[in-house]
């Protein structure tokens, strides 16, 4: 069997690594296609190295652009590779432009698409990711929702065949790397941070960074934090901070360390030892609850409602008063802190990657890895 993996951004590399590993352990060599949506060393190569992935077979160097430019160029380049390589299935993960491009290019060549982390919905169609999720799910033949909630979202849209709840591969990645991170990373020492005495910040979503007034609200929250904080800044945000004249202001905040994006091992260790996490990232909302760290999400909705339902995550948006209210409660109310930190992980047992590989190998053996003409009964 020949599975092709199409990926291009930081979270896709991290979350597909357990699936790639599971195929390798079963004697199957996956074809690795990197679109190059992320290209800086600290947004891409560092993860390929740290996660010890095999060499990339095709590097497409798509780079940055408008939504259509990036998706279109990726589609054209992915199609060429798929036509040449003729894989049995194309795996994509998540909701980026790379995912949409990979799914569309593949299904139109009648190569079935397997969508890892299918069925997530923020119910906010103004987010580019929401459009990508919906379209990728509908172009996919085999769907791997991480949770029952995600499966129900697919059912509501009429997708019921070849749907397998597997858990989220993010758990596999965390379990495979958390101890290694504690051993190998010196990130706390490097930045002079003490365990449980700082907040970890990330923010990069288009809706938070592309408008000056929103980015300024983020800066105001950071200025008012009553505890030390560290912010590994995504290149998109750095660029916008510069454009809107906010970079110096944020870099000047006394209690805040602003740094480049960090490698996975450094970042995992920072997450695990944080007092709390404030983020608009999808993957980091998941990792926070897995690592028992309270999470305040800098958004008004989430496609990970399981984290909120479980009690480990609160949506604070860009509301300074609300963000501060929760940080202060966490600081002053040990019972509240304990409750948030001990929220149960809703994302599974860390065997999602193995399940995905097993299911695809079985479908292949039975001759069922193909694009069917209809899946609606």
Active-site residue set: 204
Stretch that binds ligand UDP, among 108-116, 158-166, 190-198, 275-283 (CB under 6 A): 275-283
- Helix H or strand E segment including 33: strand 31-34
**Closest CB 263 distance from ligand UDP, rounded Å:** 6
**Closest CB 7 distance from ligand UDP, rounded Å:** 12
Burial 201-220 (b: 16+ CB within 10 A, else e): bbbbbbbbbeeeebbbbbbe
Indicate whether 22 belongs to the interface with ligand UDP (CB under 6 A). Answer: no
User: In the complex with ligand UDP, which residue's Cβ is closer, 90 or 202?
Assistant: 202
**Closest CB 298 distance from ligand UD1, rounded Å:** 13
Indicate whether 14 belongs to the interface with ligand UDP (CB under 6 A). Answer: yes
Indicate whether 153 belongs to the interface with ligand UDP (CB under 6 A). Answer: no
**Binding track, positions 238-267, relative to ligand UD1; x by CB under 6 A:** -x----------------------------
According to CB under 6 A, which residues from 143 to 202 bind ligand UD1? Answer: none
**For residues 353 and 313, what is the distance between their CA atoms, to the nearest angstrom?**
25
104 binds, among ligand UD1, ligand UDP, none (CB under 5 to 8 A by kind): none
Indicate whether 117 belongs to the interface with ligand UDP (CB under 6 A). Answer: no
> Can you spell out the DSSP letters for 329-368?
HHHH-HHHHHHHHTPPPTT-SS-HHHHHHHHHHHHHHTT-
Indicate whether 11 belongs to the interface with ligand UD1 (CB under 6 A). Answer: yes
Among positions 3, 18, 112, 128, the unique one binding ligand UD1 when judged by CB under 6 A: 128
DSSP-derived 3-state class of residue 171: helix
Burial 126-147 (b: 16+ CB within 10 A, else e): ebbbbebbbebbbbbbbbbbbb
Indicate whether 58 belongs to the interface with ligand UD1 (CB under 6 A). Answer: no
**Binding track, positions 198-237, relative to ligand UDP; x by CB under 6 A:** ----x-x---------------------------x-----
DSSP-derived 3-state class of residue 151: helix
**Closest CB 71 distance from ligand UD1, rounded Å:** 8
Q: How many CA atoms lie within 13 A of 352 on its CB side?
A: 32
**For residues 209 and 17, what is the distance between their CA atoms, to the nearest angstrom?**
28
Tokens of 107: 């299904």
Size of residue set near ligand UDP by CB under 6 A:
15
320 binds, among ligand UDP, ligand UD1, none (CB under 5 to 8 A by kind): none
**Closest CB 281 distance from ligand UDP, rounded Å:** 3
**For residues 199 and 230, what is the distance between their CA atoms, to the nearest angstrom?**
6
Report the 10 Å Cβ neighbour count for 241: 23
> 230 and 260 in contact (C-beta within 8 Å)?
no
Which residues, other chains included, contact 9 with Cβ-Cβ below 8 Å and sequence gap of 6+? 37, 38, 43, 44, 96, 98
Indicate whether 35 belongs to the interface with ligand UD1 (CB under 6 A). Answer: no
Nearest to 1 by CA among 96, 114, 107, 139: 114
Among positions 36, 119, 283, 348, the unique one binding ligand UDP when judged by CB under 6 A: 283
Strand-pair category, 256-259 with 228-232: parallel
**Closest CB 37 distance from ligand UD1, rounded Å:** 5
Indicate whether 146 belongs to the interface with ligand UDP (CB under 6 A). Answer: no
Size of residue set near ligand UD1 by CB under 6 A:
19
**Closest CB 4 distance from ligand UDP, rounded Å:** 21
Interface contacts to ligand UD1, rule CB under 6 A: 9-11, 37-40, 43, 64, 70, 95-97, 128-129, 204, 235-236, 239
Interface contacts to ligand UDP, rule CB under 6 A: 10-11, 14, 202, 204, 232, 261-262, 264, 267, 281-284, 287
């Amino acid at each position: 069997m020949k599975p092709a993996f199409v990926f291009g951004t930081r979270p896709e590399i991290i979350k597909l690594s357990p699936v790639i590993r599971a195929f390798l352990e079963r004697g199957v060599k996956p074809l690795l296609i990197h679109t190059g949506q992320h290209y800086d060393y600290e947004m891409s190569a560092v993860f390929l190295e740290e996660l010890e992935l095999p060499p990339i077979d095709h590097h497409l160097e798509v780079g940055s652009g408008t939504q259509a430019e990036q998706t279109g160029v990726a589609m054209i380049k992915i199609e060429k590779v798929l036509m040449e390589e003729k894989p049995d299935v194309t795996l994509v993960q998540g909701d980026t432009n790379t995912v949409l491009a990979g799914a569309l290019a593949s299904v139109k060549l009648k190569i079935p698409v397997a969508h890892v982390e299918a069925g997530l919905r923020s119910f906010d169609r103004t987010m580019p990711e929401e459009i990508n999720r919906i379209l990728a799910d509908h172009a996919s033949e085999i769907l791997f929702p991480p949770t029952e909630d995600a499966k129900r979202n697919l059912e509501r849209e009429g997708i019921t065949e070849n749907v397998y709840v597997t858990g989220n591969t993010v758990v596999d990645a965390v379990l495979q790397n958390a101890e290694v991170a504690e051993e190998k990373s010196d990130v706390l020492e490097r930045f002079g941070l003490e365990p449980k005495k700082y907040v970890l910040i990330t923010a990069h979503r288009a809706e938070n960074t592309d408008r000056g007034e929103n980015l300024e609200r983020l800066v105001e929250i950071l200025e008012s934090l009553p505890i030390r904080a560290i912010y590994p800044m995504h290149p998109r945000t750095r660029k916008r901070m510069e454009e809107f004249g906010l970079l110096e202001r944020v870099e000047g905040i006394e209690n805040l360390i602003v740094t480049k994006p960090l490698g996975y091992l450094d970042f995992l260790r920072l997450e695990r030892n944080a007092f709390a996490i404030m983020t608009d990232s999808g993957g980091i909302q998941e990792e926070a609850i897995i690592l028992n760290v309270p999470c305040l999400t800098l958004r008004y909705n989430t496609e990970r409602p399981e984290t909120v339902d479980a009690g480990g995550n609160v949506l604070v948006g860009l509301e300074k008063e609300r963000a501060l209210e929760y940080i202060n409660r966490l600081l002053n109310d040990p019972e509240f802190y304990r409750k948030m930190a001990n929220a149960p992980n809703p994302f599974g047992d860390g065997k999602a990657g193995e399940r995905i590989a097993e299911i695809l190998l079985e479908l292949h053996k039975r001759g069922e890895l193909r694009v069917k003409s209809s899946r609606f009964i």
